Amino acid sequence: MKHGFDINIIQHDGYLIIPVSMARISAGQTPEETYEIFDYLAKKLAIFSNDVIILYTTGLYFNAEDISHELRVKFNQKVIQHASALRKLIDKKKQYMPNAFHYLPIDYVILNSKYYGLFFNLLKKQEREDPKFRECIKKDIGNRKYSEANVNFILEEIAVGNIIKQRLVEFPRTLVRNDVWRLIAYPGAYMESDVYQWKNKILPQDDTVNPYAGTQYDFTKKKLCVFNEI
Distance, CA of 92 to CA of 209 (rounded, Å): 36
Per-residue pLDDT at 63 exceeds 60? no
Confidence of residue 69 (pLDDT cuts 50, 70, 90): low
- Output DSSP code: residue 10: B
How much is the mean pLDDT over the chain? Answer: 93
CB atoms < 10 A from the CB of 128, how many?
9
Mean pLDDT of 102-114: 95
Per-residue pLDDT at 169 exceeds 60? yes
What residue segments make up the domains of the chain, in order of their start?
Answer: 14-229
Distance, CA of 230 to CA of 48 (rounded, Å): 31
On the CB side of 87, CA atoms within 13 Å amount to: 9
Mean pLDDT of 40-68: 81
Domain 14-229 fold: Rossmann fold (3.40.50)
pLDDT at res. 61 = 47
Each residue's pLDDT tens digit, 4-37? 899 999 999 999 999 999 889 989 999 999 999 9
Mean pLDDT of 88-115: 96
Confidence of residue 2 (pLDDT cuts 50, 70, 90): confident
Report the first-to-last Cα separation within the chain, whole angstroms: 13
Helix 148-165 with 192-199: angle, nearest 10 deg: 60
Mean pLDDT of 54-71: 66
Of 25, 131, 141, nearest to 74 by C-alpha is 25
pTM: 0.93
Burial of 171 (0-12, 13-18, 19+ CB in 10 A): buried
Per-residue pLDDT at 43 exceeds 70? yes
222: Cα separation from own chain's centroid: 16
